[in-house]
């Protein structure tokens, strides 16, 4: 296989270890005076967007940032719980840049680009430094130094955290940097605005059309470059751990204007979420992967065992992850843990009323921590109950907010009974295809963070999303954007009266007018639910050829029905969340079709993509490196028409092996 | 229908900031106690769409209690009857069959209504812009472990940093004061050695911005802390006052 001529990843020459250092010192620079006249548009204010906007403004560029929320601080990065990885080796347990690189490539099941991942590992340490300097209150030990914990798919402790609110603290750090530049007049912030198209002039991205969500007005904004930092598309499944507003619209518009979409079928199903309780469910809630540090996952050994958890004796419990994967136990990567849970439930061993759940049990941790406390405090002859209580206090300090959240949602006290968990859609590894500079196939159009496809291959390791978002925004784009903008210093700001702006605005306007004038019988929400069901059933945790083919037909039919029968209440020129929703659902429907096509093309199982036809006798994913060691990059060519381009993946610094966590 | 709760809802409806609002009454049935409060509103909105009426606008996003978007004033209390819980994490099991529930937007001059239950809280962003940061450009940082921070200070800083910026403190306060919000950020940074350099300027600028936005004064009633879904303590207000007075007395300008 050879890489398509349309895909130039622009990977610098030279040994892996020096690529980034060397490239960074040779990439063209833009002098401070020129930066002042170069305008950059940033879409989204999560970790990637906020850190990029703040850093580019610090450098002197004129930045405009957009978010659909009422404040940039509410972007969904805020909800990340467990932590952020960095190869600091503060624990002296053998961590290194190479090990983080290796774990990430292996965790991604050998479907990520070596050069990008190595760079990610290299800058990971700087991220922690930057965040601490900006006042992010990470957890610390009594000596005043930073604390670390373990996460899935690794055997070192490299995860930095702030209780179960790491994403919140990191985002508020990046947000304060962004607001500082807003206050200084270097960033113009547009809240409650949604990007609805990319404007192309002479083959380059030159701006956007945005909708003011309060007044409904369409606005034209010019930029020398546009950065899509709008997050992932997990909400295509309707139920996911994403925020209600998380959507693919900005990335999808970019795709339809020429940006190739990379690995759309690579979605991450997170193993530890609170199970669905009924049809009313609007979203799913994650319980941090960090809980697998101390919790043990099990189901009864007997089928359809209806006894309460505490009445099932130890020898009648199946700690199936510890049984199947003794080397990593409960800390296997997410894709493996999720499939193992599905396998047990499908086989009839599930627990709870729905039988679609497994236990996450903290009893052993209470005992272990309790004994530690007893020793620390010099208590002799402690009673079993005293040990348990002391242990619970330790767990409360580490995970208290997560336990509270569980109790709030389920009405059950997790300090008394084991939690019930089940996998849920959480993250999308796929996204806009980007080169080493994070530029899409459209000149001047970039994608950062979860919105791009670049670093996690077919499965992302826990605590690596925060790392990637901030790496892209703080430490990659500020350098790599120079490679493009250095040649743009002679481009004067283009008037938004240019015909390309007028035309793009007209198209957006036509679509909105159409949506609101259909006046059918079903709400956008109802269509979203239907799409989600098709995607979850046929393109979810397990996929097969027949199901995917059916799904494509069903989605096409759904699309047709949507455009003739959707009912959007309210008017165009007012605050209208129903219209916003309809716009987003229309894009999700189109994306869903592409995801199924991609899953159908990939006749192998790897990472989060599990094709039932391709598995080992033990039920593990079976890769086909000979035929599928590529990134699929889809070019939009018209309604339901895509052309597949392949970027061949070369592993020169890592020995490819069947992934094993046994 | 999933459940068997019947409810009467009285909801504030207001088309936009230029028109007057009013309370409307809606009947809902078949509500399950496992639904969240916002899912109950989803049911109401589906019903309204079905009847050809304009659905109720409300802010919400993460629905897991961390983004700070949701903001309903329920039966006279921000985020409803429970303590330490945002509206999205409030579940219908906290209500009874036959209940009447009154839902209003945050009420404060500095948070004008945009539509129905949606308010404009941009004043909070402007307070942060005035000084709620440490001026460290990307790339300036030294090694993260170069400055040890005593665990109790780091923990106290984290507790203050847990604020989600929802505005419940303002809504709860009879003066619509933003002291709890502002003091939480000032405290977070004042408790860390990294925040030391800009400590006095920060307190002065943030307090000045807070006043300019039209928030009221603090009369130490404590409704803010009592209603805060993240348990931000009144101690932060005391700390902010100390920071502010020291800044006022101890600096040249």
The answer to whether A361 and A300 have CB atoms below 8 angstroms apart is no
Q: How confident is the model at residue A293 (pLDDT cuts 50, 70, 90)?
A: confident
In whole angstroms, give the CA distance from residue A642 to residue A258. 11
The answer to whether A453 and A481 have CB atoms below 8 angstroms apart is no
Tell me the domain boundaries of chain B.
5-114, 121-250
Q: Which residues in chain A touch residue B189, judged by CB atoms under 8 angstroms apart?
A: 135
Q: Is the dihedral of CA A98, A102, A103, A108 positive or negative?
A: positive
Average pLDDT over chain A, rounded to whole?
Answer: 96
Contact B68 A54 (CB under 8 A): no
Q: How confident is the model at residue B2 (pLDDT cuts 50, 70, 90)?
A: confident
The closest of A62, A53, A50 to A185, measured between CA atoms, is A62
Contact A279 B42 (CB under 8 A): no
Out of A180, A525, A569, whose CB is closest to B54?
Answer: A569
In whole angstroms, give the CA distance from residue A186 to residue A57. 6
Query: CA distances (Å), A420 to each of A292, A296, A352, A359, A660, in order?
Result: 13, 12, 7, 5, 27
Beta strands in A28-69 (DSSP E): 39-43, 62-66
Out of B85, B114, B195, whose CB is closest to A408?
Answer: B85
- pLDDT value for A244: 98
Q: Compute chain B's Rg from CA coordinates.
A: 21
Q: What percent of chain A has pLDDT over 70?
A: 100
The tens digit of pLDDT for each residue in A189-215 reads: 999 999 999 999 999 999 999 999 999
The answer to whether A460 and A267 have CB atoms below 8 angstroms apart is no
Looking from the CA of A50 toward its CB, the CA atoms found within 13 Å total 29
Q: What is the largest CA-CA distance in chain A?
A: 83
The tens digit of pLDDT for each residue in A447-482 reads: 999 999 999 999 999 999 999 999 999 999 999 999
Q: Does B212 touch chain A (CB under 8 A)?
A: no
Tell me, what DSSP letter sits at residue A225?
A: E
Of all residues in chain A, the one with the smallest CA distance to B157 is A137
The answer to whether A386 and A374 have CB atoms below 8 angstroms apart is yes
Helix (H, G, I), strand (E, B), or coil: what is residue B168? helix
Q: Which residues in chain A touch residue B165, judged by CB atoms under 8 angstroms apart?
A: 71, 73
- pLDDT value for B205: 97
Contact A73 B165 (CB under 8 A): yes
Of all residues in chain B, the one with the smallest CA distance to A181 is B129
| Cα A306–chain centre separation | 36
Of all residues in chain B, the one with the smallest CA distance to A72 is B125
Contact A214 B52 (CB under 8 A): no
In whole angstroms, give the CA distance from residue A265 to residue A538. 12
The closest of A260, A264, A267, A235 to A597, measured between CA atoms, is A264
Number of other residues whose CB lies within 10 A of the CB of residue A626: 8
Q: How confident is the model at residue A659 (pLDDT cuts 50, 70, 90)?
A: confident
The answer to whether A217 and A31 have CB atoms below 8 angstroms apart is no
Of all residues in chain B, the one with the smallest CA distance to A172 is B161
Among residues A334, A460, A602, A623, the one annotated as catalytic is: A334
- Dihedral through CA B146, CA B152, CA B158, CA B160, nearest 10? -130
- pLDDT value for B251: 59
Number of other residues whose CB lies within 10 A of the CB of residue B146: 11
In whole angstroms, give the CA distance from residue B153 to residue B147. 13
Close Cβ partners of B217 (under 8 Å, ≥ 6 residues apart): B175, B177
Out of B15, B65, B132, whose CB is closest to A176?
Answer: B132
Average pLDDT over chain B, rounded to whole?
Answer: 96
- pLDDT value for A565: 98
Q: Which residues in chain A touch residue B48, judged by CB atoms under 8 angstroms apart?
A: 569
The DSSP bridge partners found for residue A645 are A633
Structure tokens given for A562: 């949507």
Angle at B200 between CA B192 and CA A474, to 5 degrees: 50
Tell me how close the Cα of B135 comes to any Cα of chain A, in angstroms: 7
The DSSP bridge partners found for residue A206 are none
Q: What percent of chain A has pLDDT over 90?
A: 93
Q: Does B208 touch chain A (CB under 8 A)?
A: no
The answer to whether A561 and A534 have CB atoms below 8 angstroms apart is no
The closest of A238, A267, A250 to A524, measured between CA atoms, is A238
Contact A180 B150 (CB under 8 A): no
Q: Does B28 touch chain A (CB under 8 A)?
A: no
In whole angstroms, give the CA distance from residue B172 to residue B170. 5
The closest of B157, B57, B172 to A132, measured between CA atoms, is B157
- pLDDT value for A524: 97
In whole angstroms, give the CA distance from residue A17 to residue A383. 55
Contact B61 A523 (CB under 8 A): no
Out of A128, A141, A577, whose CB is closest to B151?
Answer: A141
What domains appear along chain A, each with residue ranges and CATH number? 271-425 (3.90.700.10), 497-619 (1.20.58.100)
Q: Pairing mode, if any, of strands A204-212 and A159-160?
A: unpaired
- pLDDT value for A619: 87
The answer to whether A243 and A514 have CB atoms below 8 angstroms apart is no
Residues 62-91 of B with CB under 8 A from A: 62-69, 84-85, 89, 91
- pLDDT value for A543: 97
- pLDDT value for B1: 55
- Give A471-537 as a DSSP string: IIIIIIHHHHTHHHHTT-TT-PPPPTTSHHHHHHHHHHHHHHHHHHHH--SB-HHHHHHHHHHHHHH
The answer to whether A588 and A562 have CB atoms below 8 angstroms apart is no
Q: For A367-390, what is the mean pLDDT?
A: 95
Number of other residues whose CB lies within 10 A of the CB of residue A32: 9
Q: For A627-635, what is the mean pLDDT?
A: 98
- Is A334 tagged catalytic? yes
What CATH superfamily classification does B5-114 receive?
Answer: Beta-grasp domain (3.10.20.30)
Q: What is the largest CA-CA distance in chain B?
A: 67
Helix (H, G, I), strand (E, B), or coil: what is residue B152? helix
What is the distance in angstroms between the CA of the first residue and the CA of the last residue of chain B?
65
In whole angstroms, give the CA distance from residue A66 to residue A196. 11
Number of other residues whose CB lies within 10 A of the CB of residue A406: 23
Out of A79, A133, A567, whose CB is closest to B194?
Answer: A133
Q: How confident is the model at residue A277 (pLDDT cuts 50, 70, 90)?
A: confident
At the topology level of CATH, where does B121-250 sit?
A: Fumarate Reductase Iron-sulfur Protein; Chain B, domain 2 (1.10.1060)
The closest of A270, A419, A275 to A338, measured between CA atoms, is A270
Structure tokens given for A241: 């751990």
Query: CA distances (Å), B180 to each of A494, B121, B147, B207, in order?
Result: 45, 15, 28, 11
Of all residues in chain A, the one with the smallest CA distance to B137 is A58
**A171 or A333, higher pLDDT:** A171
Structure tokens given for A413: 């006290």
Q: Is the dihedral of CA A113, A273, A279, A78 positive or negative?
A: negative
ipTM (interface pTM): 0.98
- pLDDT value for A485: 98
Whether A499 has a pLDDT exceeding 70, the answer reads yes
The tens digit of pLDDT for each residue in B113-154 reads: 999 999 999 999 999 999 999 999 999 999 999 999 999 999
Q: How confident is the model at residue B250 (pLDDT cuts 50, 70, 90)?
A: confident
The tens digit of pLDDT for each residue in B22-81 reads: 999 999 999 999 999 999 999 999 999 999 999 999 999 999 999 999 999 999 999 999
The answer to whether A84 and A463 have CB atoms below 8 angstroms apart is yes
Q: Which residues in chain A touch residue B110, judged by CB atoms under 8 angstroms apart?
A: none
Out of A58, A139, A277, whose CB is closest to B138?
Answer: A58
Count contacts between A and B (CB, < 8 Å).
223
């Amino acid at each position: 296989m050879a890489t398509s001529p349309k895909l130039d990843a622009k990977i610098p020459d030279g040994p892996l270890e020096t690529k980034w250092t060397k490239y960074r010192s040779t990439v063209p620079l833009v002098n401070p005076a020129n930066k002042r006249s170069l305008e950059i548009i940033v879409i989204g204010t999560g970790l990637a967007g906020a850190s990029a906007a703040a850093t580019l403004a610090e450098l002197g560029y004129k930045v405009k940032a957009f978010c659909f929320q009422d404040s940039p601080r509410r972007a969904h990065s805020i909800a990340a719980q467990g932590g952020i990885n960095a190869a600091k080796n503060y624990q002296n347990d053998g961590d290194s840049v190479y090990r983080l690189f290796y774990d990430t490539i292996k965790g991604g099941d050998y479907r990520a680009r070596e050069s990008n991942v190595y760079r990610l590992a290299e800058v990971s340490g700087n991220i922690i430094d930057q965040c601490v300097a900006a006042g992010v209150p990470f957890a610390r030990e009594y000596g005043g130094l930073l604390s670390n914990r373990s996460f899935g798919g690794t055997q070192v402790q490299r995860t930095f955290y702030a209780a179960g609110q790491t994403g919140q603290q990191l985002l508020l750090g990046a947000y304060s940097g962004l607001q500082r530049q807003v206050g200084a007049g270097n960033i113009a912030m547009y809240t409650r605005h949604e990007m609805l198209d990319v404007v192309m002039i002479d083959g380059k991205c030159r701006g956007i059309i945005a909708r003011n969500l309060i007044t409904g007005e369409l606005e034209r904004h010019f930029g020398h470059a546009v950065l899509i930092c709008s997050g992932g598309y997990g909400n295509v499944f309707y139920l996911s751990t994403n925020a209600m507003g998380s959507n693919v619209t900005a990335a999808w518009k970019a795709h339809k204007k020429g940006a190739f979409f990379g690995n759309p079928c690579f979605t991450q199903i997170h193993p530890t979420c609170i199970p669905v309780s009924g049809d009313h469910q609007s979203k799913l809630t994650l319980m941090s992967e960090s809980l697998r540090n101390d919790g043990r996952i099990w189901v009864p050994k007997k089928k359809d065992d209806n006894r309460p958890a505490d009445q099932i004796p130890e020898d009648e419990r199946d700690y199936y992850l510890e049984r199947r994967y003794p080397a990593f136990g409960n800390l296997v990567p997410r894709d493996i843990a999720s499939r193992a849970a599905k396998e047990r439930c499908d086989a009839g061993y599930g627990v709870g009323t729905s039988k679609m759940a497994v236990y996450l049990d903290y009893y052993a941790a209470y005992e272990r921590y309790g004994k530690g406390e007893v020793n620390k405090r010099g208590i002799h002859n402690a009673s079993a109950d005293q040990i348990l209580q002391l242990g619970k206090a330790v767990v409360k300090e580490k995970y208290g907010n997560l336990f509270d959240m569980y109790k709030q949602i389920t009405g059950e006290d997790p300090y008394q009974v084991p939690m019930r968990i089940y996998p849920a859609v959480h993250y999308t590894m796929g996204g806009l295809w980007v080169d080493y500079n994070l530029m899409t196939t459209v000149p001047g159009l970039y994608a950062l963070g979860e919105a791009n496809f670049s670093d996690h291959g077919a499965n992302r390791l826990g605590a690596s999303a925060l790392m990637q978002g901030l790496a892209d925004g703080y430490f990659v784009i500020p350098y790599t954007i120079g490679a493009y903008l250095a040649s743009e210093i002679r481009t004067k700001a283009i008037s938004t009266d240019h015909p390309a702006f007028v035309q793009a605005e007209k198209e957006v306007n036509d679509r909105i007018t159409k949506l609101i004038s259909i006046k059918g019988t079903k709400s956008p929400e109802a269509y979203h639910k239907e799409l989600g069901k098709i995607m979850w059933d046929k393109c979810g945790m397990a996929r097969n050829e027949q199901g995917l083919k059916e799904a494509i037909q069903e989605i096409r039919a759904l699309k047709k029905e949507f455009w003739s029968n959707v009912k959007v209440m309210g008017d165009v020129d007012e605050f209208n969340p129903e219209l916003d929703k309809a716009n987003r659902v229309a894009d999700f429907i189109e994306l869903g079709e592409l995801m199924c096509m991609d899953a159908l093309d990939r006749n192998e199982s790897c990472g989060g993509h599990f094709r039932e036809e391709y598995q080992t006798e033990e039920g593990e994913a079976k890769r086909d490196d000979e035929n599928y060691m590529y990134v699929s990059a889809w070019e939009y060519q018209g309604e339901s028409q895509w052309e597949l381009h392949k970027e061949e993946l070369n592993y020169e610094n890592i020995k490819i092996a069947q992934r094993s966590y046994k | 229908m999933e459940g068997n709760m019947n409810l009467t809802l009285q909801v504030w409806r207001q088309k936009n900031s230029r028109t007057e609002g009013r309370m409307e009454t809606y009947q809902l049935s078949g509500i399950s106690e496992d639904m969240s409060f916002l899912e109950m509103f989803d049911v109401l909105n589906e019903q309204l769409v079905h009847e050809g009426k304009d659905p109720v606008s409300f802010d919400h996003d993460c629905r897991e209690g961390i983004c700070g978007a949701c903001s309903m004033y329920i039966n006279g209390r921000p985020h409803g009857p429970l303590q330490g819980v945002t509206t999205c994490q409030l579940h219908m099991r906290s209500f009874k069959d036959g209940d009447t529930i009154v839902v209003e937007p945050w009420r404060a001059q500095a948070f004008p209504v945009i539509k129905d239950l949606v308010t404009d809280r941009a004043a909070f962003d402007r307070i942060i812009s005035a000084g709620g940061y440490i001026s460290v450009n990307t790339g300036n940082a030294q090694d993260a472990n170069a400055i040890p921070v005593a665990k109790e200070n780091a923990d106290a800083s984290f507790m203050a940093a847990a604020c989600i910026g929802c505005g419940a403190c303002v809504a709860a306060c009879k003066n619509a004061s933003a002291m709890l919000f502002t003091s939480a950020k000032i405290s977070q940074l004042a408790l860390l050695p990294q925040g030391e350099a800009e400590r006095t300027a920060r307190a002065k600028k943030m307090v000045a911005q807070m006043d300019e936005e039209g928030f009221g004064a603090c009369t130490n009633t404590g409704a803010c802390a009592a209603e805060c879904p993240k348990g931000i303590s009144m101690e932060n207000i005391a700390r902010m006052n100390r920071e502010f007075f020291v800044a006022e007395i101890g600096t040249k300008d």
